[in-house]
Amino acid sequence: MSALIVRDVMSAPIETISMDDTVDKIQRIFESSHYHHLIVHGDHKKAVGVISDRDLLKNVSPFIGKMGERNADRSLLNRRAHQIMTRQLIAVRENTALRSAARVMLDHRISCLPVVDLEGHCIGIVTLRDIVRWAVDELEIPHSGPGAQAA
């Protein structure tokens, strides 16, 4: 059996956003999808950053839509992706060993890696959740509860 690679577990295709998309648009994407990360693209659609749902929570007032909402709270929705994204983008290629990708995530304390082609265009994403999902599917844990057969 050959070594597992990123392509085997990555999510693709994915939705990307531009550097000038608003926080309001980003919030709507997160609310209407199952995504936890959005890749930000710059010129020529090259990946330049990432925004997680946690990044969004840090940049949106909890008072929006509530009685205590102020104009300043609402103005946060006009901020742009490039103002809240993580710029230190660490990416992998689709043929990267999954073990290496997981090690990069652990070493850098990040929860996702954009998967890019040779030109830097994002073709997918691999997340810790993808890796855990694969591991759970692959693990065969013997049943040890009531009614289990003794060896």
Domain span holding position 60: 6-138
Q: Are 4 and 133 in contact (CB under 8 A)?
A: no
In a domain, 144, yes or no: no
pLDDT digits (tens, 9 = 90+) for 72-120: 555 677 788 998 898 889 999 999 999 999 999 999 999 999 999 999 9
- Please compute the mean of the pLDDT values over residues 3-25 and round it to a whole number: 92
| Of 52, 49, 70, nearest in space to 61 by CA | 70
In a domain, 146, yes or no: no
**Cβ neighbours of 113 (radius 10 Å):** 26
Cis peptide before 114 (omega within 30 of 0): no
Lowest mean pLDDT among 51-60, 62-71, 87-96: 62-71
In a domain, 33, yes or no: yes
How many domains does the chain contain in total? 1
Q: How far is CA 91 from CA 59, 73, 79, 80, in A?
A: 24, 33, 25, 22
